[in-house]
Chain A
Amino acid sequence: MLKVNNIDVFYGNIHALKEVSLEVNEGEIVTLIGANGAGKSTLLKTLSGLLKPKKGEVLYQTQQIGGKPAQAIVKVGISHVPEGRRVFSTMSVEENLELGAYLRTDREEIKKDIANVYGLFPILGERRKQPSGTLSGGEQQMLAMGRALMAKPKLLLLDEPSMGLAPLIVKQIFEIIKMVNEKGTTVLLVEQNANMALSIANRAYVIETGKIVLSGTAKELQESEQVKAAYLGGL
């Protein structure tokens, strides 16, 4: 579904990604784990068009999407839930969801999908008129995910959904990620919480200082000594 071939990306003067290749197949949950500053977010930003690769190609299905503007990428079916949620704080929950459907014109379907998001996250339904800046961190994460789903993506890019959240909320969020995936959305999940990410993923990549250093099935990585030592608390 998504194929990244040898991309090089610069973040200002920093060479943030070096010949990175990875692949996501339809229906999978693929996770990318790595420490702070390893290049995880840079990779997602490149996939969603916020950054442009200097070299290499990004193939989505059969289209070359590397370097295209973000709106073109949303249109082909890739939605990105950014790190730190980035909800539109003074706008209401419902307005945020409407913006998620910005490129869609099917008004009736949009209404139904907003109702679906409220079904998935009932708390958002209760707070639909509230400015999203007043929500808790977990609620904002739910909103950011719901907003991305409003674009009806085939591939969902999630950047650190667990960041700053209480363990119980993290669990809830991950259950929803699994549910979204089971309903047919492919997921590329970036996480520092490697334990959690590997527990729901099919396959995983490990990124260190801009390079993919390890890849395999989630199970293989969970058992790898290298990963255990560096990311799973050294057990």
Chain B
Amino acid sequence: MEWIQQLVNGISLGSIYALIALGYTMVYGIIKLINFAHGDVFMLGAFIGFYAISRWEIGFFPALIISMVLCAIIGVIIERVAYKRLRSATRIAALITAIGVSLLIEYTVIFFRGASPEAYPEVLPKSSINILGVNISSISILILAVTIVLMILLQFIVHKTKIGKAMRAVSLDADAARLMGINVDNTISATFAIGSALAGAAGVIFGVYYTRIEPLMGVLPGLKAFIAAVFGGIGSIPGAMVGGLSLGLVETVVSALGFSLWRDAAAFVILILILILKPSGIFGKNTREKV
């Protein structure tokens, strides 16, 4: 029954990738920018959660919410300060700026608190539940539950609310959206806010699950979430969810087969294979135009 345990591990890891990948894919969908600073928002989320839990001694859920709110604000500030003025610039200029913002965040954090890792406080009781003879830690189940709730909430926002419809409209055709009376700048900010809040949640979940956080922790999960987004079809929200979960599972399987040193390579092999075989990703749409 060890494989069920691995499956659970894979889903937990995949949930974290999926939550980060959603921010990548939403921002790409709306302004066609790969926001490489997104992994660092995830790191900031982990640290905000860490300080909230250890300094203010609050529980997991309040810390999760504080982290999501602050990350949403940070995401909006990043967009307004760094990316907004580059809307009409070339895409490569925006991309380089994103890398710059990423480095700025990483080294600002190191400047203020040093590069040493931090051990996440035990905020959730360490118990396990026996399902079909397999012990599954309650943390895994909680992570999965939180991820599912956030994804349902996101689907609801994107499909049923006015701001969600505005986000989809802007990502399809910004000028046509303007003609509807949609404020495109505010809609883009809302997208950054939602994506960053999800990254913040992923940061806290990561901290609780893996218990070790450090200022450069966002780099690799950020890249992998990016791969997950590309795998699912960048710009597609269900794609990011499926992509993230698949990548988590693949990595866990690779580790479980005894190739744990090859885990990171597996993600990049997947990226290379997608780019060769189906660059638009599994949920990627072939853009069609009618004359």
Residues of A within 8 A of B (CB): 48-50, 69-71, 74-75, 79-80, 82, 86-91, 95, 98-100, 102-103, 133, 137, 140, 147-148, 151, 164
| B256 interface residue per 8 A CB criterion | no
| B224 interface residue per 8 A CB criterion | no
- Identify which of residues 250-272 in chain B touch chain A, using a CB-to-CB cut-off of 8 Å: none
A147 to chain B, nearest CB (A): 7
Residues in A whose Cβ lies below 8 Å from that of B168: 88, 90-91
B291 near A98 (CB under 8 angstroms)?
no
Q: Which residue on A lies nearest to B288, using beta carbons?
A: A133
B175 near A86 (CB under 8 angstroms)?
yes
Interchain CB contact (< 8 A) of A133 among B162, B169, B175, B290: B290
Give B157-198 as 1s and 0s: 1 = Cβ < 8 Å from A's Cβ atoms.
000001001101100110111111111000000000000000
Q: Which residue on A lies nearest to B287, using beta carbons?
A: A89
A74-B179, A88-B172, A98-B165 are known contacts; what are 17 more A-B pairs with Cβ within 8 Å?
A: A50-B179, A69-B183, A70-B181, A75-B181, A80-B179, A82-B175, A88-B177, A90-B172, A91-B172, A99-B169, A99-B182, A102-B166, A137-B290, A137-B291, A140-B290, A147-B180, A151-B180
B175 near A50 (CB under 8 angstroms)?
yes
Residues in B whose Cβ lies below 8 Å from that of A88: 168-169, 172-173, 176-177
CA distance A164 to B291 in the complex (A): 7
Residues in B whose Cβ lies below 8 Å from that of A91: 165, 168-169, 172
B254 to chain A, nearest CB (A): 35
| B285 interface residue per 8 A CB criterion | yes
Residues in A whose Cβ lies below 8 Å from that of B176: 82, 86-88
B178 near A49 (CB under 8 angstroms)?
yes
A210 to chain B, nearest CB (A): 21
CA distance A98 to B179 in the complex (A): 13
- Identify which of residues 220-277 in chain B touch chain A, using a CB-to-CB cut-off of 8 Å: none
Interchain CB contact (< 8 A) of A90 among B162, B177, B285: B285
CA distance A95 to B173 in the complex (A): 14
B165 near A99 (CB under 8 angstroms)?
yes
Residues in B whose Cβ lies below 8 Å from that of A87: 176
21 A-B pairs (CB sep. < 8 Å) = A50-B175, A50-B178, A70-B178, A71-B183, A74-B181, A82-B175, A82-B176, A82-B179, A86-B173, A87-B176, A88-B168, A88-B169, A88-B172, A88-B176, A89-B172, A90-B285, A99-B177, A100-B180, A103-B181, A133-B288, A147-B180
CA distance A138 to B177 in the complex (A): 21
Q: Which residue on B lies nearest to A103, using beta carbons?
A: B181
CA distance A147 to B179 in the complex (A): 10
Interchain CB contact (< 8 A) of A95 among B165, B288, B290, B291: B165
CA distance A164 to B289 in the complex (A): 13
Residues in A whose Cβ lies below 8 Å from that of B169: 88, 91, 99
B194 to chain A, nearest CB (A): 19
Q: Which residue on B lies nearest to A75, using beta carbons?
A: B181
Residues in B whose Cβ lies below 8 Å from that of A148: 179
A74 near B180 (CB under 8 angstroms)?
yes
CA distance A71 to B175 in the complex (A): 11
Which of B166, B178, B285, B291 gathers the greatest number of chain A CB atoms within 10 Å? B178
CA distance A137 to B290 in the complex (A): 7
CA distance A75 to B182 in the complex (A): 11
